[in-house]
């Protein structure tokens, strides 16, 4: 379709609009650079830290006056679904799609969307009729609007008699209804397969070709349709329509002026205000998707907000409405959310579309429709922009780094660059550029510049010459025979920075008996025999040794030949049962789990709780099982692991049970659990309240995949890390305040320190000037600063913005452990702002480790203090380490 609808590209709106939020306090916020996906289409990410967690907001803006188009992504048939990425691929033959979001709510039990769908002026499907569902629409005059079209007045007539069409392409054949099905819905009609009294009228080229009652299904023609009648509509159709009649379909007046319509949930913003009552009330803070329209109707704003994770909190519909208003929306609709929330964009610099948000299921959910933006391609594009292709601005002195120049044309399509005709220069540092390879020859900051056909591009780089340790990931390699294992390399600098190395910059020595290393792919290729040996990795005098073990074995944990477990449901509305039946994959029996998820919209789970938990052998790397997926209905297949200290974790066998027949699935085990481990249950779970169904899943032969016990001994790695005894605290930190922390148990500073970090999760943050240094007490008991008192963050951020002229000592609990990884990053960032003012910063924290340690993280001195029992305060404090610490700070 060619509507040429576009949005006014006001890129600075995102930076200048004051976002209005509700029910939470914004602590900190950051914005990514605006990325141009096409002329008139931009993408940006907003991160907002609130007292309730992070908001991760992805925004695509579309200028509806540019050469842009809107379309709806569907599968080949409306009754089938796929992931948004696959839907995009199937509808993107000309590579014109630049962005897409999920859209309509859907009914998986009946394979249909809930709302309308109109594309290029053609009515593909009508709403289920519920007044709670609004839709996003564009008229044939290119005017976007949001409205409710839930009970359209559609009908068919032979010129003598007119009969109402209840639905178009909706599978709800019950009561007194007539439903029109086109070839967009399916290949065949239902006919007698439904085992109900049904009359089907085949219409081809506007003429009735055949009428069948409880007959075989029709093949639905491309140039026609099938009208299915049930209930009293059967008699009225038989009495008034006959073979040969010319049939006309009369569409509702709303559809006659509509070019595009895609269903959604409630309208949440109208006339620039959040509605007080929503037609569809989806309460709670969840991942959300929304589409908004500016007041002048020249801008489309597509938004996703992540949730249901340890970091991202999700939002209510009211909060979503306020966010949309803050982004410039005058009207907005709440589209399907939860695990369906997804945004896919096609950067002009990348070869494939990318999901830019974090789907809460951990993977893409299958859906029926997506709202997409496409670009209208010019037949005569010109070179528009160039960009230097370099993975990271941080380089290590002496390494050879491949560089290249990318280019796009005015269609925002990649074009080939003649690399031999690119003119390269390097300023600020010494270096050599030959044959597409950059070799820096001095440390410091520099600028790489490329000129090509009158276009120039620059890239700032920083070259380091202080690598002290070579890192190899994984640090222990356990692989199966002939397995290919990708490896990654980096170095750690003496100021705590981590810099990635290219896959061919490290010299790799692997004994032939365990495999070989492929420099081109950066992968270890395991041998064909069970073996163990040491691999050696070298870079600029740094050497790291990694044990490699080839070969695994499978140990059967449950074969289901006897009574294995019992059924459990959560919540109580989930019903079902478990038993063994003689339908095996192997042996004589398998286990069958029956479930019914129709009784609730909450997260629902159906468990097989094993009569005796399944003991996992030491060195178990993963757990495999056979599962029969025909009736798994796309739910999540998981297991529950319990370790020796009672800690539990959930493992995933398959995020979507969507296959036919038996399939072998594996779940990887976490590396931080204490052996011995037990598998206590296997279960199906569904987090999406809209997915209500019942079904079964069969399982057989649960096995532990066990790796070898590492017996090879590795020598000490060769590093340039200074011996701990050679460390000294910077002169600026040799204050009495720091000495108090380390030595004087009787002063108030240390007593307060131990109360905060070891005992009292209600302790308040304090920022105090102590003997020539700023001492900041942070309460992060329970691995979180925010949940103890979010105002700690506002105080710290305000402090970091001041002119700090004295050393800073931060006293807190374990600085390496956070429930929210972004919170840990934010702390280092704020410490870095203080460090950038030219003062020294140290973070002091206690652990149960009996050894002290000093490390540097991005220039911040991090000091680990051992805990030693003392009865002076009834606290675990570093009571007998004063002499040792005095040696450190001399």
pLDDT at residue 174 is higher than 50: yes
Predicted TM-score of the model (pTM): 0.84
| Unique residue bearing structure tokens 């890129």 | 11
How far is Cα 707 from Cα 611, in angstroms, rounded to an integer? Answer: 27
Which of 126-130, 262-266, 362-366 has the weakest average pLDDT? Answer: 362-366
For the chain, the farthest-separated pair of C-alpha atoms sits apart, in whole angstroms, at 105
**681: CB partners within 8 A, 6+ apart:** 565, 568, 607, 608, 609, 610, 639, 640
Q: 550 by DSSP, 3-state: which? A: strand
**What's the token pair of residue 709?**
């016990």
pLDDT: which is higher, 882 or 320? 320
SS (H, E, C) 640-685: EEECCCCCEEEEEEECCCCCCCEEEEEEECCCCCCCCEEEEEEEEE
Give dist(CA 61, CA 9) in Å, integer: 7
**∠ Cα 124 297 40 (to 5°):** 90
Residue 659 pLDDT class (50, 70, 90 cuts)? very high
Distances (CA, A) of 849 to 81, 814, 846, 853: 53, 11, 8, 10
Q: How far is CA 759 from the centre of its chain?
A: 36
C-alpha 758/C-alpha 738 separation (Å) is: 19
pLDDT at residue 766 greater than cutoff 70 = yes
**DSSP character for 828?**
H
Q: Which of 637, 641, 584, 636 is nearest to 610 (CA)?
A: 641
pLDDT band of residue 723 (cuts 50, 70, 90) is low
List of residues 6+ apart from 726 with CB closer than 8 A: none
Structure tokens that stand for 15 in this block = 């930076």
* Gap between the Cα atoms of 129 and 167, Å rounded: 9
Map out the domains of the chain with their CATH numbers: 13-148+260-375 (no CATH), 154-250 (2.60.120), 383-464 (2.60.40.10), 467-550 (2.60.40.10), 554-707 (2.60.120.260), 724-889 (no CATH)
Q: Are 747 and 886 in contact (CB under 8 A)?
A: no
Number of C-beta neighbours around residue 536 at 10 A: 17
Q: What value does the mean pLDDT take over residues 709-719?
A: 91
Look at residue 448 in the predicted model and tell me its pLDDT. Answer: 98
Check residues 394 and 845 and name the one with the higher pLDDT. Answer: 394
Residue 146 C-beta-side C-alpha neighbours within 13 Å:
27
- Predicted pLDDT at 120: 95
pLDDT digits (tens, 9 = 90+) for 18-71: 344 457 899 999 999 999 999 999 999 999 999 999 999 999 999 999 989 999
pLDDT band (50, 70, 90) for residue 733: low
| Contacts of residue 784, Cβ cutoff 8 Å, sequence gap at least 6 | 818, 819, 820, 823
Say if residue 444 is exposed, middle or buried (CB neighbours under 10 Å; 0-12, 13-18, 19+): middle
**3-class SS of residue 328:** coil
**pLDDT more than 90, % of the chain:** 72
| pLDDT of 790 | 94
Both tokens of 328, joined, read 């410039």
Here the tokens at position 93 are 């033959």
Bridging pattern class, strands 394-396 and 455-464: parallel
d(CA 229, CA 162): 14
- On the question of pLDDT at 126 being above 90, the answer is yes
**pLDDT per residue over 562-618, tens digit each?**
999 999 999 999 999 999 999 999 999 999 999 999 998 788 999 999 999 999 998
Instruction: Inform me whether the pLDDT recorded for 709 exceeds 60.
Output: yes
For residue 544, which phi and psi values (nearest 5 degrees)? -130, 135
pLDDT of residue 581: 96
pLDDT of residue 546: 96
Cβ-count burial of 762 within 10 angstroms (0-12 exposed, 13-18 middle, 19+ buried)? exposed
pLDDT digits (tens, 9 = 90+) for 416-449: 999 999 999 999 999 999 999 999 999 999 999 9
- Residue 733 sits at φ, ψ, to 5 deg, of -95, 0
> Which pLDDT value is given to residue 289?
98
3-state secondary structure of 104: coil
Q: Which residues is 28 bridged to in the sheet? A: 49
Q: What is the pLDDT of residues 452-478, one digit of tens each?
A: 999 999 999 999 999 999 999 999 998
Computed over every residue of the chain, the mean pLDDT equals: 88
The two tokens of residue 169 are 């392409």
CA distances 744 to 280, 603, 862, 874, 889, Å, are 62, 53, 20, 16, 14
Q: Cα dihedral sign for 420, 422, 425, 426? A: negative
Q: What is the CB-side half-sphere exposure of residue 569 using CA atoms within 13 A?
A: 18
3-state secondary structure 394-405: EEECCCCEECEE
* Angstrom distance (rounded) from CA 680 to CA 534: 36
Give the pLDDT confidence of 480-501 residue by residue, as tens digits.
899 999 999 999 998 888 999 9
DSSP string, 146-207: EE---S--EEEE-SS-EEEE-EES-----SSEEEEE-TTT-SB--GGGG-S--EEEEEETTE
Element (H, E) at 883: helix 882-889
Reduced 3-state DSSP string for 212-255: EECCCCCECCCCEEEEEEECHHHHHHHHHCCCCCECEEECCHHH
CA-wise closest residue to 784 among 822, 749, 747: 822
Number of C-alpha atoms within 13 angstroms, CB side, residue 558? Answer: 29
- Give backbone dihedrals phi and psi of 823, rounded to 5 degrees, phi first: -65, -40
Q: Token pair of 422, please? A: 């690119």
Q: Are 406 and 452 in contact (CB under 8 A)?
A: no
| pLDDT value of position 2 | 37
806 — phi, psi (to 5°)? -120, 155
| β pairing state of 437-440 and 431-434 | antiparallel
Buried b (16+ CB within 10 A) or exposed e, 199-223: bbbbbbeeebeebbeeeebbebeee
Among 270-279, 596-605, 843-852, whose mean pLDDT is lowest? Answer: 843-852
**pLDDT value for 559:** 96
Q: Is residue 270's pLDDT more than 70?
A: yes
pLDDT band at 3 (very low <50, low <70, confident <90, very high): very low
Contact 28, 266 (CB under 8 A): no
Task: Answer yes or no: are the C-beta atoms of 683 and 605 closer than 8 Å.
Answer: yes
Query: Three-state SS for 258?
Result: strand
Residue 3, both tokens: 């509507």
User: What is the SS3 assignment for 101?
Assistant: strand
User: Please, what is the angle between helix 821-835 and helix 791-801, to 10°?
Assistant: 20
What pLDDT digit, counting tens, does each position of 553-564 carry? Answer: 899 999 999 999
pLDDT value of residue 196:
95
pLDDT level of residue 690 (50, 70, 90 thresholds)? confident
Helix (H, G, I), strand (E, B) or coil at 500: strand
Q: Tokens for 538?
A: 């070298």
Q: How many residues does the chain have?
A: 890
- Structural tokens at position 402: 């491949």
Instruction: Tell me the β-bridge partners of 292.
Output: 301, 332
Select from 843, 839, 838 the least CA-distant residue to 855. Answer: 843
Tens of pLDDT, residue by residue over 812-832, are 888 888 889 899 999 999 999
For the stretch 415-422, contacts whose Cβ atoms lie closer than 8 Å and that sit 24 or more positions apart, written own/partner, are: 415/383, 417/386, 417/452, 421/452, 421/453, 422/450, 422/451, 422/452
- With H, G, I as helix, E, B as strand and everything else as coil, classify residue 801: helix
pLDDT at 856 over 50: yes
First vs last Cα of the chain: how many Å apart?
76
CB 735 within 8 A of CB 807: yes
Given a cut of 70, whether residue 729 has pLDDT beyond it is: no
Signed CA dihedral, 381, 386, 389, 393: sign only: negative
Q: 34 has which bridge partners?
A: none
pLDDT at res. 214 = 95
């Amino acid at each position: 379709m060619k509507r040429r609808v576009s949005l006014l590209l006001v890129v600075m709106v995102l930076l200048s609009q004051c976002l209005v939020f509700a029910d939470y306090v914004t602590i900190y916020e950051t914005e990514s650079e605006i990325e141009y996906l096409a002329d008139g289409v931009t993408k940006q990410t907003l991160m907002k830290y609130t007292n309730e967690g992070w908001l991760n907001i992805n925004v695509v803006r579309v200028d509806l006056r540019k050469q842009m188009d809107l379309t709806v992504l569907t599968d080949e048939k409306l009754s089938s679904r796929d992931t948004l990425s696959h839907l995009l691929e199937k509808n993107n033959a000309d590579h014109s799609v630049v962005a897409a979001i999920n859209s309509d709510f859907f009914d998986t039990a009946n394979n249909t969307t809930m709302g309308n769908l109109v594309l290029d002026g053609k009515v593909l499907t009508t709403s289920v009729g519920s007044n709670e569902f609004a839709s996003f629409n564009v008229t044939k005059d290119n005017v976007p609007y949001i409205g409710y079209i839930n009970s359209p007045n559609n009908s068919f007539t032979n010129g003598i008699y007119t009969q109402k069409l209840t639905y178009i392409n909706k599978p709800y054949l019950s009561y007194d209804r007539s439903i029109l099905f086109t070839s967009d819905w399916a290949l065949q009609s239902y006919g007698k397969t439904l085992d109900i009294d049904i009359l089907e009228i085949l219409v081809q080229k506007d003429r009735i070709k055949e009428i069948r009652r409880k007959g075989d299904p029709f093949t639905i023609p491309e140039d026609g349709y099938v009208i299915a009648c049930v209930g009293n509509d059967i008699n009225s159709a038989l009495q008034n329509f006959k073979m040969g009649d010319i049939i006309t379909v009369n569409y509702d007046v709303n559809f006659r002026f509509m070019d595009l319509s895609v269903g959604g949930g409630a309208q949440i913003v109208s006339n620039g205000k959040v509605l007080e009552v929503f037609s569809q009330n989806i309460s709670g803070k969840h991942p959300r998707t929304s589409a908004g329209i500016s007041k002048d109707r020249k801008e489309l704003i597509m938004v996703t907000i992540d949730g249901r994770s340890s970091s991202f909190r999700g939002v209510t519909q009211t909060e979503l409405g306020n966010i949309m208003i803050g982004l410039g929306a005058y009207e907005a609709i709440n589209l399907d959310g939860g695990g369906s929330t997804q945004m896919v964009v096609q950067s002009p610099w990348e070869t494939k579309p990318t999901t830019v948000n974090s789907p809460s299921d951990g993977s893409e959910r299958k859906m029926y429709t997506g709202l997409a933006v496409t670009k209208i391609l010019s037949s005569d594009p010109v070179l528009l922009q160039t960009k230097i292709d370099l993975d990271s601005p941080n380089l290590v002195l002496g390494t050879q780094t491949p560089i290249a120049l990318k280019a796009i044309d005015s269609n925002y399509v990649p074009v080939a660059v003649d690399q031999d005709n690119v003119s390269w220069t390097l300023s600020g540092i010494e270096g050599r550029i030959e044959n597409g390879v950059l070799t820096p020859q001095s440390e410091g900051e520099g600028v790489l510049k490329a000129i090509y056909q009158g276009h120039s591009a620059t890239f700032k780089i920083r070259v380091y010459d202080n690598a002290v340790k070579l890192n190899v990931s994984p640090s222990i390699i356990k692989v199966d025979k002939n397995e290919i294992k990708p490896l990654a390399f980096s170095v750690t600098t003496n100021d705590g920075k981590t810099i990635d190395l290219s896959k061919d910059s490290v010299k790799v020595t692997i004994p032939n008996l365990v495999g070989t290393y492929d420099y081109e792919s950066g992968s270890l290729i395991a041998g064909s025999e069970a073996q163990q040996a040491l691999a050696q990795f070298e870079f600029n005098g740094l050497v790291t040794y990694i044990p490699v073990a080839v070969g695994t074995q499978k140990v059967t944990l449950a074969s289901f030949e006897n009574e294995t477990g019992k059924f459990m449901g959560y919540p109580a509305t989930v019903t079902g049962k478990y038993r063994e039946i003689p339908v095996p994959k192997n042996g004589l029996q398998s286990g069958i789990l029956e479930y019914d998820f129709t009784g609730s919209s909450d997260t629902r789970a159906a468990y097989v709780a094993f009569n005796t938990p399944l003991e996992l052998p030491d060195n178990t790397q993963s757990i495999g099982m056979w599962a029969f997926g025909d009736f798994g209905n796309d739910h999540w297949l998981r297991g529950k692991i319990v370790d020796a200290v009672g800690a539990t974790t959930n493992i995933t066998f398959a995020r979507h049970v969507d296959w036919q027949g038996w399939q072998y699935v594996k779940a990887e085990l976490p590396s931080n659990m204490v052996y011995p481990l037990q598998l206590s249950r296997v279960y199906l779970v569904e987090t999406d309240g809209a997915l209500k169904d019942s079904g079964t899943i069969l399982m057989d032969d649960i096995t532990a995949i066990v790796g070898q016990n590492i017996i090879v001994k590795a020598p000490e790695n060769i590093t340039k890390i200074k011996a701990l005894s050679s460390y000294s605290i910077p002169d600026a930190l040799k204050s009495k305040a720091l000495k108090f922390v380390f030595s004087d148990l009787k002063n108030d500073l240390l007593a307060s320190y131990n109360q905060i970090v070891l005992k009292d999760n209600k302790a308040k943050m304090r920022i105090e000037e102590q003997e020539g240094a700023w001492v900041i007490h942070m309460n992060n008991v329970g691995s979180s600063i925010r949940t103890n008192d979010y105002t700690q963050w506002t105080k710290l951020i305000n402090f970091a913005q001041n002119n700090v002229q004295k050393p800073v000592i931060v006293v807190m609990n374990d600085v390496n452990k956070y429930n929210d990884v972004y919170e840990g990053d934010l702390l280092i960032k704020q410490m870095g702002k203080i460090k950038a003012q030219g003062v020294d910063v140290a973070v002091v924290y206690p652990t149960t480790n009996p050894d002290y340690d000093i490390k540097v993280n991005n220039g911040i001195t991090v000091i680990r203090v051992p805990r030693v029992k003392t009865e002076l305060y009834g606290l675990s404090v570093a009571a007998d380490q004063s002499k040792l610490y005095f040696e450190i700070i001399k």
